[in-house]
A and B are shown apart, each in its own frame.
Chain A
């Protein structure tokens, strides 16, 4: 690509892009800064905040007062658990739809997508009551089950678009070479499917980690993940800026890092393969 760009134009673009990028990122940068300040300094004017001393006190306090670690583990268990379960259900489904498509496959896929359109509130009441009656409220198992179902359509769709790209001829070639079915799956198909499965896994962990409808409705404390933990700061503790910032920073850091690694897959996964 050899586009001629004048130096002025280049400078304008650079400045504009950096300014806008910085402004969009600023709220995140700001909580990271505030999280290293003392409670008294955090509510001063922005300039005074920047000039004040740095401290790790808030991180210490957050763990001390509210057991951050437990909520972190809840988030890990729930997002990994629901992702694993969704993959176990989705891989065979996506596999057979991609390699042995029937006349109804397309309709089936559209139907799965449509289940995603059902607003969660439509089933809030019965699900809440079922959870109450089966003693699933505030349990890992209950939340893992719900999040698995919530994300299943996306997982199937995403895997489907990846599997679809594996050329069928390669299987025939392997068969002609005398490969057994087992050999075929282990040595030919699995290596080709792994990148797709890995991207799906990554995206689903991100979605499950940030899910904030069911996690807020169905947990209170014992199994509460970070979304619920942060929501508990809504008042009046939210006025403790430094602690809220420290808790927030820790809650978003792992996913921010995962997310940056998965930009490309994210586009594909969230658009059901329509944009690559």
Chain B
């Protein structure tokens, strides 16, 4: 009974991927149908040697790394805070989780227009009220702004998972340590953090899967610009194949993206595999 699912997933993976691989060796432009010729590794050569590729690669890694840092550190801090008993815990929890359910196009547009817009945005109003010059976030610091937007969407996810994990922490052990005079910092390093390791691994793994292919946020805020300042690998592939109609080049980029993701994946799968064993 497993076979239908396995066959479908296998086809879903292998057919398009095989086609991408095949296209990546062709000189194939959508504007000139029927003119496909064998190109060998030319597409790869040109894709890798355009300046946009290296900036896209750096941007992809910065985006993934930046969001991971903010959400993991912020998530641990928030989870520790929300784990304390206080009035209205349920309501605060609901408020913190909410951004995760906002679709990417909405969160990107809301941040872009209502907050980061240099004329009417909230930040501009605040800056003006304080007598400062409004800052044009998306053209001055496009990548950092996108990292902020994406981190806002993913912080709830990290918080929720780490909070769930914290709640299974052995309270008696914590209290015993406290009575023995262990400082807050020592309790955190020696009891809380080891307990959270598995969940932190999971948070990093899952987020990486989704963050490697951030697309909508870039499309509706900066369109990859100015120049290629906020173009990541998925966006570059999209631009090359569907905006410039260069199917060959775009496919080569797609294969490179797959290879990159696999390097990350092997590393992460080993981590999660080990964690799932225990």
B216 touching A216 by the CB < 8 A rule? yes
**CA A25 – CA B92 in complex, angstroms?**
9
Cβ of A24 within 8 Å of any chain B Cβ, yes or no, is: yes
A125 touching B247 by the CB < 8 A rule? yes
- Among the stretches A57-65, A191-199, A226-234, the one at the interface with B is A226-234
Give B237 Cβ to nearest chain A Cβ, in Å.
Answer: 4
B92 touching A212 by the CB < 8 A rule? no
Q: Using A14-B86, A27-B99, A217-B242 as known contacts, say yes or no to A231 and B220 having CB atoms under 8 A apart.
A: yes
A89 touching B250 by the CB < 8 A rule? no
Give A48 Cβ to nearest chain B Cβ, in Å.
Answer: 9
Query: Of residues 236 to 277 in B, which have CB atoms within 8 Å of A's CB atoms?
Result: 237-238, 241-242, 247, 250-251, 253-255, 257-258, 261-262, 264-265, 269, 272-273, 275-276
Q: 0/1 per residue, A115-139, Cβ < 8 Å to B?
A: 1111111111111111000000000
**CA A226 – CA B104 in complex, angstroms?**
11
Cβ of B198 within 8 Å of any chain A Cβ, yes or no, is: yes
A210 touching B257 by the CB < 8 A rule? no
A213 touching B16 by the CB < 8 A rule? no
Cβ of A182 within 8 Å of any chain B Cβ, yes or no, is: no
Chain B neighbourhood of A28, CB < 8 A: 98-99, 102
B113 touching A238 by the CB < 8 A rule? yes
Cβ of A186 within 8 Å of any chain B Cβ, yes or no, is: no
Complex: chain A residue closest to B237, CB-CB: A121
Query: Of residues 218 to 244 in B, which have CB atoms within 8 Å of A's CB atoms?
Result: 219-221, 233-234, 237-238, 241-242
- Among the stretches B34-42, B159-167, B185-193, the one at the interface with A is B159-167
Partner among B17, B84, B126, B164 whose Cβ is within 8 Å of the Cβ of A17: B84
B5 touching A156 by the CB < 8 A rule? yes
- Among the stretches B44-52, B114-122, B139-147, the one at the interface with A is B114-122
Chain A neighbourhood of B5, CB < 8 A: 89-90, 92-93, 112, 152, 156
**CA A110 – CA B266 in complex, angstroms?**
11
Cβ of A16 within 8 Å of any chain B Cβ, yes or no, is: yes
Q: 0/1 per residue, B76-119, Cβ < 8 Å to A?
A: 00100110111111011111111111111111011111110000
**CA A179 – CA B109 in complex, angstroms?**
58
**CA A128 – CA B254 in complex, angstroms?**
13
Give A57 Cβ to nearest chain B Cβ, in Å.
Answer: 18
Give B18 Cβ to nearest chain A Cβ, in Å.
Answer: 8
Cβ of A34 within 8 Å of any chain B Cβ, yes or no, is: yes
* Other 18 A-B pairs with CB < 8 A, given A13-B81, A238-B109, A248-B110: A17-B82, A20-B81, A24-B96, A25-B98, A89-B4, A115-B12, A117-B269, A121-B253, A126-B23, A210-B104, A213-B213, A228-B105, A234-B221, A251-B103, A255-B103, A271-B199, A274-B198, A274-B199
Q: List 16 A-B contacts (CB under 8 A).
A: A10-B85, A18-B88, A20-B81, A24-B98, A31-B110, A34-B114, A46-B122, A93-B1, A118-B258, A125-B23, A126-B251, A149-B8, A209-B103, A245-B110, A263-B97, A270-B206
